[in-house]
Structure 1
């Protein structure tokens, strides 16, 4: 994480935002105290990737188990 005073950020904004674009987080200090963090935005994920995958089930039983039982495995 890179630290920058408010004045440094204002005077060299392009350089700091280039760091953020490259994946770095920049912490902004005012009078030596942190007041903000600038961090990269995570790319949007498609809706089907946001949910955790769950096994398909019928009547509370996983379909893969039902198939294996039907086969006799």
Structure 2
């Protein structure tokens, strides 16, 4: 466990987060009294729920009886146009 004052933590926050990422615990002191412990996040944390409106959607695919797609029909229509 690493113990350091708040001013030192503020100056070296990135390095302290690297230690926590490696599995170490960092205790932060303010005026000599412990105010926080930085511990690594647990792997079994609850999964983040994504709202339904943010989930990716699968586009609808309509299949005609003749097997042509809508894009193919549009291209045929454009090619057969008089203008």
Query: Scaled by the length of structure 2, what TM-score is found?
Result: 0.52
> Structure 2: which 5+ residue stretches go unaligned?
46-83
Equivalence for 1:37: 37
Question: Which structure shows the bigger proportion of residues in strand conformation?
Answer: 1
Equivalent pairs counted in the alignment come to 45
SS in 1 for 2:15: helix
Counterparts of 1:10 and 1:17 in 2: how far apart (Å)? 11
Counterparts of 1:16 and 1:4 in 2: how far apart (Å)? 10
> Structure 1: which 5+ residue stretches go unaligned?
46-73
Higher radius of gyration, 1 or 2: 2
Equivalence for 2:78: none
How far the C-alpha of 1:44 sits from its partner, in A, is 1.9
Counterparts of 1:38 and 1:18 in 2: how far apart (Å)? 11
How far the C-alpha of 1:4 sits from its partner, in A, is 1.2
4+ residue runs of structure 1 moved beyond 2 angstroms?
none
